[in-house]
Structure 1
């Protein structure tokens, strides 16, 4: 039988999550935001933030893991193995669009890939997306290895920015789907 969890553990967990969620929002808008900006958004003092994350690098590492976890959970909720591939891909696009511009911030940060353990974690989890993309793949389509995965994440990045500018989400999902499945330029 395990010992009951103290209320302090629950409060610590909530505070940590509030800091990570605030960092996700603040850094998506301003990648150079200060720890003070993040603390203010999390509604905690700087000293509290520093008790959880002594250095900015610690916060950024924890943020990368947090975003990766959120992305994987969203993929799972989208049920990419269920139904026709096009419908599965649409659900996955929709689920990942919720993460917004923090995804490229995390996944394009070279310091995350300098840490080999973190890099291995960040480079996993979207295999199911690659599988869905392969199931939808247009016969005869070409590109270097990994191209559909790269295009998927680039389109999501563009889509997140477009939603942020006020374009209705459904239009953005439709545009991403058209780009992924049919391309964006008519051949002459």
Structure 2
């Protein structure tokens, strides 16, 4: 079956959707569990994904592409520095239900060179925003850009975790991340 075949496309999409659903509940789930939720047979599953790792890596590529799409308005508005970082945090927090499974499966996802390249590009773009903020005086130039990028990345993951667990909604998580990043946690 070619991917231009509508039935093959539906099966592949069903597997991707089921993969997110299953891995959100159980990051250790098997391909068989994914196929069962997708409503496809094992032969169809293996026609699209020979291994669990391939499925996870495809889900990671799709998730990173979704992040890029969420950030398109940032680029269109030509936001820079702190303002762009605040926008970014508000844009990516609603993706928590899509990404949360990657928190525990990232070591598998990053083994794919394409996933690593996309993720590293996104981190480089974030580093450029941090540098703009430093030049504008809105971000502490005494901290390394690598430290700040890692801190922002950690705040995103913390927000996704809390949104997924129901501790807060995406807007609250984004606001808390902005507050923590730019004002700290002191009273």
TM-score normalised by length of structure 2: 0.76
Q: How far apart, CA to CA, are the structure 2 residues paired with 1:15 and 1:177?
A: 40
**Runs of 4 or more consecutive aligned structure 1 residues displaced over 6 Å after TM superposition:** none
Give the equivalent residue in structure 2 for 1:3: none
Question: How far 1:37 sits from its partner (Å)?
Answer: 2.4
How many Å separate the matches in 1 of 2:73 and 2:20? 20
Q: Which structure has the higher relative contact order (CA within 8 Å, separation 6+)?
A: 2
Q: Is the 8 A contact 2:15 2:34 kept in 1?
A: yes
1-side partners of 2:92 and 2:160: how far apart?
9
Give SS of 1:99's match. Answer: helix
2:32/2:42 contact within 8 Å kept: yes
Other-structure match for 1:9? 5
SS in 2 for 1:153: helix
Matches within 5 A, 1:115-130: 115-116=112-113, 118-130=115-127
> Structure 1 residue 105: deviation in Å?
3.9
Task: Write the mapping of 1:44-63 to structure 2, written as runs, cut at 5 A.
Answer: 44-63=40-59
Deviates more, 1:27-36 or 1:43-52: 43-52
Unmatched runs of 5 consecutive residues or more in structure 2: none
Decide whether aligned partners of structure 1 residues 61 and 84 sit closer, same or farther in structure 2, where only a CA change above 3 A counts: closer
Question: Do the aligned residues in 2 keep the contact of 1:36 with 1:46 (CA within 8 Å)?
Answer: yes
- 1:136: Cα distance to partner? 3.4
Change (3 A) 1:27 1:112: same
Equivalent pairs counted in the alignment come to 178
- SS class of match (1:54): coil
Structure 1 portions without partners, runs of 5+: 1-5
> Which residue is 1:135 aligned to?
132
SS where residue 98 of structure 1 aligns? helix
Name the structure with the higher helix share. 2
User: Measured at CA, do residues 52 and 114 of structure 1 come closer, stay the same or move farther in structure 2, by a change above 3 Å?
Assistant: closer
119-128 or 149-158, which moves further after superposition? 119-128
More displaced 10-residue stretch of structure 1: 79-88 or 97-106: 79-88
Aligned to 1:160: 160
Q: Secondary structure at the residue paired with 1:33?
A: coil
Offset at residue 96 of structure 1 (A): 1.6
Name 1:102's counterpart in structure 2. 101
Alpha-carbon RMSD across the aligned residues, in angstroms, is 2.9
